[in-house]
Structure 1
Amino acid sequence: MTFRQFAFNNVSRNKRLYAAYFLSSLFTVMVFFTFAIFAFHPALSGDEMNGNVVKGMNVAAGIIYVFSFFFILYSMSSFLQSRKKEFGLLMMHGMSMRQIRSMVFLENMIIGFFATLGGITLGLVFAKAILLLAQNVLIIENELNFYIPVGAVGLTFGSFIVLFFVISLFVSYVLRSRKLIELLKGDKKSKGEPKANLLLTVLGILLLGTGYTIAFFVKGVIVVVALLPVVVLVILGTYLFFTQISVFAVRRLKNKETWFWRKTNMILFSDLSYRMKDNARTFFLVAVISTVAFSAIGTLFGLQTFLTAGIKTGNPNTFTYYGDAQEQQTVAAINRTLQEEGVQADQAHMFLRYYKMGGERVQISKESDYNRFAALIGKAPVDVPDGQVFAVRADSFTIGRNPERMDATVELATGVVLQPGKMFSSNALPFADSYIVSDRDYELLPAPAEERSFYAWQATDGKQHVLAAAEKLEAQMLHDVFCSEYRIYQINKQYGPVMFVGLFIGIVFFVSAGSFLYFRLYMDVDGDKQKFKTIARMGLSEKELKQVLNRQTAILFFAPIVVALLHGAVALTSLSHLFFYDLFRESAVVLGVFLAIQIVYFFIVRFYYTKQIKAAIRM
């Protein structure tokens, strides 16, 4: 058997520990290759919008490539840490440290080569489906047909072979300082009882509490100012949580005899403090990376919802138009275009009158005008008594509202003062908060400071052709005509690439975080086999074994994820305070989807982990 065959056999015989490393690397290569396919696609050249898509894909590919370097480097370090005893035995049989470094270099290059080939192959298999998905998500007018991505294949293969080569050299260099006695002892060195520093424990609680409090209570533009301090506080607090607070909590539980001696708790908590301490840096890294993924995707999703919901709420009519010098020609053009496209719509017209009140410009409308526009969008009519004024709060954004103005009085030209009546929310009238008075009192108002003609159309049939009508009106340079559906379409078209790129990057981060947990769990599997094999001889039943393994694995697997979910929820809450817009639904969807994926991943990992422990006990 040659030296190269020996290295290849080492890889093939360590499938369990190499599996997550190989599959995660393969997935990363596939995602990078996907972005490369877009970057080289002939349909995305020449147009400014498509050029922005390509730029976004290139930036995303660069981010993924840099992240892949550190991810693979960390994965290899974790893997080598679990093989120290194996390297020591090889040295006892005459293998030199130089040969061990060469073996590790070859092993990593073998995995990198096949992961790169596998990622490119999977990318080609799913290329058509991904292009079709992207064409709809990105709202690209040109059809993204499948093509032979020679440039993408060359770029991906060359980039990742270089990446694996550099990491293999680096890891081989690190190994050269290992001594035989250190390798033979492996992880059997006594670590002593883990202890938490009370001062650092309290500091960690204060840091997290302060960061959360600031994030919950600041609002508006102050959220942007507080962003950096909150991030620093939470990151430091998270590190202390895993290195100090978790160890402190486990020791407190162990000191409660009624709890510690109950059923299988002694087995569960006997080495949990060691596990938490040993895995603190991994848990911290997973929590931070997962928080970045949750927050990035939640922010993108929430921002898109915020923008589109604001347009829908503030502009409920299908088409609106403010009159200008070309008013008659424009109204005729709109009606003609709607008829040509087969869009049937109800139409309403009014004059918007603005008055100076308390140094501000406010809109006052009469009851009959409001009721006509309310009927247009299916809102209930109002009945304003003579001598009263109803305040209407815009059923849209809260930014810029003046609550005190809603309780103001209105003075007629006759000197009579209308008293405040009911106040309610509605988006029947355009944009701003306004007042409604009875038709009789409206005629007695003084001359307005400004008056504008306003038209609205609400589609009742042929709604599927609204975008076509809007595009035709846009081509006629009728810029004062506003179509909410067309504006949302434009936002989604511009926002699509950002959402698409952010989603992929978030998924890569999340998959990598799950892989880190897999590495740490399986690094200790050999020691767990020996431990549970010994305990089983003392009378531990299979049911009790399963219970201990389930609880231990769940704690180690979900501790960083739960922390990340809390961080993500706080971050998205702070984002909602920035926009004064409730993002609870969007936050729940994003965090719920990630939690569901993690639960599925946990059950898969737990199944194979438990299977190995049980197999070792039966031997």
Structure 2
Amino acid sequence: MLFKLSMSGMKSKLKDYIVLLAGLIMSISIFYLFQTLALNKAFIEGNSIIQSIGFIFHAGSFLLVVITFFYILYANSFLLSLRQKEFGMYMMLGAKKYKIKLLMFIETIVLGIISLSMGIVLGIVLAQGIGQLLMNQLDFTGRGYHAFYIPSMTVTITFFLMMFILSAMMNSIKLSRVTVLQLVHSEMQIEHAPIKTKKNIAGSLLACLLLSIGYISMIKMDVLKETGVIIALVATTLGTFLLFISLLPFIIKKLKNHKKLREKGINAFTFAQLSFRINSLTKVLATVAMLVALGAGAIAAGMAFKNNVLLMANGSEIYDVVTHNPTTQEKQILHEITFKQKYQYRYKTDDKYVYYLKEDLEKNRPLVHSQEGRKDFNKFKEISKDLPEGSVLEDGIENGSDSAQIPSEWQEALDSIEPYYAHENHKIKIVDYNMYRKIHGKEGSVFIGNTGDFESYKEELKQLDNIQLHKYKNIDPEQLRSKYSSYEMFYGVSSGTVFMGFFLGIAFLTMMASCLMFKILSGASKDIMRYQMLRKIGVRQELLTKSIYKEIFLIFLFPALIGIAHVLIGMNIFSFILINPYYRVWLPIVIFSIIYVVYYLITVQLFKGIVLPKSIKE
């Protein structure tokens, strides 16, 4: 009987339960997505760079558990709020309170089982779809990755069942403390709570202090290492929640009291709406801010690792192309490439030396590292010093030799031009034109070039590498000193992290949208009467629509600003791994902004559909 009663009660509020169910399904599927990576040892061990940042990854996993915990508690408290009036009526008709508690418990568990089943199925589909899409885009094999992963499923089911049972128990305790009259008149209770200025100021100052500690820990990550991750995680999370709880109601109050803003259009109504509901929004908005930081930050980190591959390749090898004595096939490929800078140097070889022509080298001076610090690893400069005639490139000058040693800058340059396998067991000697003509040896040339757009010519450079391997059969692909081979090596090492960043970024941003839309839409039904009243007294639909856009815009704005601030500071976490963690950081922020605006517009349309039904619009 109780089961039938609970099912009929859920059917009576099916629209609200669908919103709740959608949020829970998305939360479960995203939790499962994360666990497919967090628990998949074969995947993590098969991608070496992920092992090096494993601590950060597990810290993120812990943060997701905390956020999901509060999300589930909130979702199930909403479940109680949906039925409070109905439960009050049952009790007025003679139902015992323990029966109502049992009814509530059944509803929570039934909803939990349905959402768990659908959430895991959706999680598997998303894990497979998103995983394969990213692997194809990143040309990443993802060894050990499985969309259907039993350990992840076990952890997800266990965690959420515990959460649903805990929520049901908390709802029962909450129900036992509420009187029948409070249940019956639950919809007439306001959400507004008085703002205590001193308490809010103290809370805001503490929040700023905690955020400062968190930000400093991120900036000094190269010194603090793993300790910095823990401090940043705890301080930033606590600071964010405290900032929204203390400062946001104070800001809304100031906006409401601003005379010029209040008297424009129906802003007085808009700010009053925000003022009355802001206290119930603060924790959700803080959660959304953290999800924005995690989502946009994960995508930014993934893109930073991807861009870092090119920076590392550029830094390890100065030239895009270095080839000795180009063959006809090589010349054809080189002809297809547009070079920003290209030089050709002549040389002769005998049994002992490779003789480079001094005039050629000084006329078109090669590049060397600028050596101005780690961040300038991929910056270069032309050599300013001249080459001593007759100088030799070797570790030490032989006793009795009148040859000078080649200066260190020129040593670095010649090392880039002359890979060890080009002329094994030969030393480099610098000679002028007159001496060069007198040398009896095999003449050759080396071509070097930079395209200025390495990634546009990857296929051509790959072909050149294959020809080089055919030329020098005594070396393996890993020993080939070319920018393309370096790029492939670095990409192979970091592709797992790039995949993880994009994968988790999509997951967090989806969860963020679910949280915010769920919270806004779940309270929309209480606003119908207010909009009806305004419509009846002659307020135009256009003004009501503008009010909705403004109200939801402000709700979306605050977590976005804080979340992006967290991202911009938080990228310092990767400073000890990446050459430049901020390289093209604007791109993931633009991607996030587009996604966020789309969710904002969808939420506005759904909200309008609830509070401005057709009967009112007409």
Distance 1:615 1:70 in 2: 32
The answer for the alignment partner of 2:162 in structure 1 is: 166
Give the match's secondary structure for 2:613: helix
The answer for the alignment partner of 2:384 in structure 1 is: 435
Q: CA deviation at 1:267?
A: 0.8
The answer for the alignment partner of 1:369 in structure 2 is: 361
Give the match's secondary structure for 2:264: coil
Structure 1 residues 469 and 270: CA distance shift in structure 2, 3 A? same
The answer for the alignment partner of 1:416 in structure 2 is: none
Q: Which amino acid aligns with 1:583?
A: Y
Which one of 274, 278, 286 corresponds to residue 284 of structure 1? 286
- TM alignment of 1:94-105, pairs within 5 A: 94-105=94-105
Aligned pair count?
541
Distance 1:210 1:5 in 2: 54
The answer for the alignment partner of 1:614 in structure 2 is: 612
The answer for the alignment partner of 1:242 in structure 2 is: 244
Q: CA deviation at 1:552?
A: 1.1
The answer for the alignment partner of 1:543 in structure 2 is: 542
Q: Which amino acid aligns with 1:256?
A: H
The answer for the alignment partner of 1:602 in structure 2 is: 600
Counterpart check, 1:527 vs 2:526: yes
Q: Which consecutive unaligned segments of at least 5 residues does structure 2 have?
A: 336-341, 348-356, 393-401, 420-446, 450-456
The answer for the alignment partner of 1:422 in structure 2 is: none
Q: Greater CA deviation, 294-303 or 312-321?
A: 312-321
Q: Greater CA deviation, 285-294 or 458-467?
A: 458-467
Deviations 1:40-73 (A, max 9, x none): 99xx9899737999998x9799766786555434
Deviations 1:536-565 (A, max 9, x none): 333222112111121112212332122212
Q: Which amino acid aligns with 2:494?
A: Y
Distance 1:242 1:253 in 2: 16
Counterpart check, 1:186 vs 2:190: no
The answer for the alignment partner of 1:89 in structure 2 is: 89
- TM alignment of 1:171-250, pairs within 5 A: 171-177=167-173, 178=175, 179-181=178-180, 182-186=182-186, 188-189=188-189, 191-197=192-198, 199-200=201-202, 203=205, 207=209, 210=212, 221=222, 234-235=236-237, 237-250=239-252
- TM alignment of 1:41-440, pairs within 5 A: 49=46, 68=68, 70-119=70-119, 121-122=121-122, 129-130=129-130, 132-136=132-136, 139-140=139-140, 152=148, 159-177=155-173, 178=175, 179-181=178-180, 182-186=182-186, 188-189=188-189, 191-197=192-198, 199-200=201-202, 203=205, 207=209, 210=212, 221=222, 234-235=236-237, 237-318=239-320, 368-369=360-361, 371-372=363-364, 394=369, 398-399=373-374, 427=380, 434-437=383-386
Deviations 1:121-166 (A, max 9, x none): 5566677755643543564569999x9x8xx376666554444432
Deviations 1:550-597 (A, max 9, x none): 111221233212221233233337867996737252x21112211211
Distance 2:525 2:490 in 1: 54
TM-score normalised according to structure 1 size:
0.70
The answer on whether the counterparts of 2:195 and 2:249 sit within 8 Å (CA) in structure 1 is: yes
Structure 1 residues 598 and 313: CA distance shift in structure 2, 3 A? same
Distance 1:447 1:260 in 2: 80
Distance 1:61 1:239 in 2: 17
TM-score normalised according to structure 2 size:
0.70
Structure 1 residues 449 and 275: CA distance shift in structure 2, 3 A? same
The answer on whether the counterparts of 1:243 and 1:276 sit within 8 Å (CA) in structure 2 is: no
Distance 2:258 2:379 in 1: 59
The answer on whether the counterparts of 2:469 and 2:476 sit within 8 Å (CA) in structure 1 is: no
Give the match's secondary structure for 1:482: coil
Q: CA deviation at 1:350?
A: 9.1
The answer for the alignment partner of 1:405 in structure 2 is: none
Q: Which amino acid aligns with 1:516?
A: C
Distance 2:79 2:552 in 1: 19
Distance 1:161 1:47 in 2: 23
The answer on whether the counterparts of 1:84 and 1:184 sit within 8 Å (CA) in structure 2 is: yes
Distance 2:570 2:25 in 1: 31
Q: Which amino acid aligns with 1:250?
A: I
Structure 1 residues 278 and 616: CA distance shift in structure 2, 3 A? farther
The answer on whether the counterparts of 2:292 and 2:560 sit within 8 Å (CA) in structure 1 is: yes
Distance 2:67 2:250 in 1: 33
Distance 1:3 1:458 in 2: 82
The answer for the alignment partner of 1:415 in structure 2 is: none
Q: Which amino acid aligns with 1:285?
A: T
Q: Which amino acid aligns with 2:545?
A: K
Give the match's secondary structure for 1:437: coil
Give the match's secondary structure for 1:436: coil
Deviations 1:279-318 (A, max 9, x none): 2222222212322332233233223323422322552424
Give the match's secondary structure for 1:263: coil
The answer on whether the counterparts of 2:292 and 2:509 sit within 8 Å (CA) in structure 1 is: yes
Q: Which amino acid aligns with 2:361?
A: D
Distance 2:494 2:390 in 1: 47
Structure 1 residues 615 and 237: CA distance shift in structure 2, 3 A? same
The answer for the alignment partner of 1:384 in structure 2 is: none
Structure 1 residues 78 and 187: CA distance shift in structure 2, 3 A? same
Question: Between the two proteins, what is the percent identity of the paired residues?
Answer: 17
Q: Which amino acid aligns with 2:369?
A: A
Distance 2:380 2:494 in 1: 26
The answer on whether the counterparts of 1:536 and 1:617 sit within 8 Å (CA) in structure 2 is: no
The answer on whether the counterparts of 1:300 and 1:502 sit within 8 Å (CA) in structure 2 is: yes
The answer on whether the counterparts of 1:25 and 1:115 sit within 8 Å (CA) in structure 2 is: yes
Q: Which amino acid aligns with 2:517?
A: Y
Structure 1 residues 12 and 366: CA distance shift in structure 2, 3 A? farther
CA RMSD of aligned residues (A): 5.1
The answer for the alignment partner of 1:482 in structure 2 is: 481
Structure 1 residues 245 and 96: CA distance shift in structure 2, 3 A? same
Structure 1 residues 613 and 48: CA distance shift in structure 2, 3 A? closer
Distance 1:130 1:75 in 2: 26
